[in-house]
Structure 1
């Protein structure tokens, strides 16, 4: 007999992969306005997305650095993980801020790959980070 799983609180962290962590940091801090709060040179840089209603973070890992299993005596025995090729990450933004984001990205020289309205009227902007990941800025109503 299968039982119902316990409830979840939401998404705590999401991960993208980038070989050039300096370029990733410049993009996520300088263009997207996130704050880096933890860095391990050559391995990762972690960004705060929001603290409300609870912490949400974006983890950017160098994919080569996360392939190796931790040693048996590791203080933090995080299993190996990683991905190759472009990933996808979507950030929610208020519908009345979409045009401001479009102007901001244009001024930063970031090409917009797509700017469209979903069948329910919600809008998304798509762009790429320096690692080639697909980044979406979306009105949360896309899932309403």
Structure 2
């Protein structure tokens, strides 16, 4: 069976109960440009060619009232994961930036192939990874 082509990941979603804290973390500390914010429902950030969607988990489970944008209700509970691909030579800078902002480094290690990852938690408890893209080489 032949499958239709997939170009890659266009967007990924994380969920929070505090969009202001998410905006301070992703927009302020990490420096991602905000694409759009819709009140207390969501905030979207540009990440390279893709988009990080951060939703208020209490709002996205509600059916949409906007017939022009009939996005189905969605959400999750618990902690999600998101990984930023970063140049390997910047991992120490990311670690220092996080520590300087009082963000605990949860893990910092080298994978069996020698690539490195640094893990932190965002204000909602999601696992956020900064990694050398070679982890998947």
Following the alignment from structure 2 to structure 1, what is the Cα–Cα distance between the partners of residues 15 and 125?
10
Greater Rg, structure 1 or structure 2?
A: 1
Counterpart in the other structure of 1:105: 98
Following the alignment from structure 2 to structure 1, what is the Cα–Cα distance between the partners of residues 51 and 71?
17
Counterpart in the other structure of 1:9: 7
- TM-score w.r.t. the length of structure 2 is 0.96
How do 1:10-25 and structure 2 match up within 5 A?
A: 10-25=8-23
The equivalent position to 1:121 in structure 2, one of 114, 119, 124, is 114
How do 1:59-70 and structure 2 match up within 5 A?
A: 59-70=53-64
- TM-score w.r.t. the length of structure 1 is 0.92
Following the alignment from structure 1 to structure 2, what is the Cα–Cα distance between the partners of residues 98 and 88?
18
Following the alignment from structure 2 to structure 1, what is the Cα–Cα distance between the partners of residues 41 and 97?
29
Counterpart in the other structure of 2:50: 56
Aligned length: 137
Cα offset, 1:70, TM superposition? 2.3
Following the alignment from structure 2 to structure 1, what is the Cα–Cα distance between the partners of residues 64 and 28?
32
